[in-house]
Amino acid sequence: MNARSLALAGLVCMPLAAACSGGSDAAEAPADTEAEAQTPPNTLTDEERAEGWTLLFDGTSLDQWRTYGADDLHDGWQAEDGLLVRVGGGGDIITRETYDDFELQVEWMVREAGNSGIFFNVSEDSGRIFEGAPEMQVLDDAAHADGQNPLTSAGANYALHPAPRGVVHPAGEWNEARIRVQGDHVEHWLNGQKIVEYDLGSPEWQELVAGSKFTEWPEYGTYSSGHIGLQDHGDWVGYRNLKIRRLN
């Protein structure tokens, strides 16, 4: 068993941004790039501030988040070692602020067979979060059953627009996601590649929704603004470098 396998099995600790906590909680991240090494996680550069970026998580405070349908944040989500982590059942969480046109950047990591998701245009009028908000899938494609279908693989517009193969990094490694929403046009980026784009409410969108499970919920994808959401799918997931800017 090599060092990476040992780390993922929780048998050794590697020098990660997320410190090992023992047992199956250990996870390995790829080596930081030179740029990442110069900019600590969960911080903004002067250039990013000038471009209008703001942090949704500074590595310690969870004040910008609350549980979907509640005023406070359930303790199933915690700040640990500079990560926003789903550590136990706590439900989906959303930003306290809402956003219209925006660009969101997030780094995420799952463990083997892990599953989560990033929602946008979230409205609490829709019932459950997935009944109204589109989702960019967060997944271990290799070990989770959803990874066998491009429509439900990492980076996909869940169940509607497929993600290409070979872009997502494996469990235990960081993935960099970006969602850009301007008007009705949406782009999903994963690890520096634009992998999905679509227009909310377009004839293509309506046809895809009609042929999916979302046809049960008429409000699905109809909101033009809303909260950003992170999914509790029952698995450990870590997020860092959550930053957003509003687009004019």
* pLDDT tens digits for range 145-182: 999 999 999 999 999 999 999 999 999 999 999 999 99
> pLDDT (tens digit, 9 = 90+) per residue, 207-221?
999 999 999 999 999
pLDDT band at 38, cuts 50/70/90? confident
In Å, how far are 42, 63, 67, 74, 228 from 71, measured between CA atoms? Answer: 24, 11, 7, 10, 15
pLDDT beyond 90 at 118: yes
Q: Decide if 169 contacts 175 (C-beta within 8 A).
A: yes
pLDDT beyond 80 at 3: no
Phi-psi label, residue 42: left if phi above 0, alpha if psi -120 to 50, beta otherwise: left
pLDDT of residue 18: 36
What the block records as the tokens of 133 is 């908000």
Q: Which domains does the chain have, with CATH numbers?
A: 32-246 (2.60.120.560)
What the block records as the tokens of 71 is 């005023």
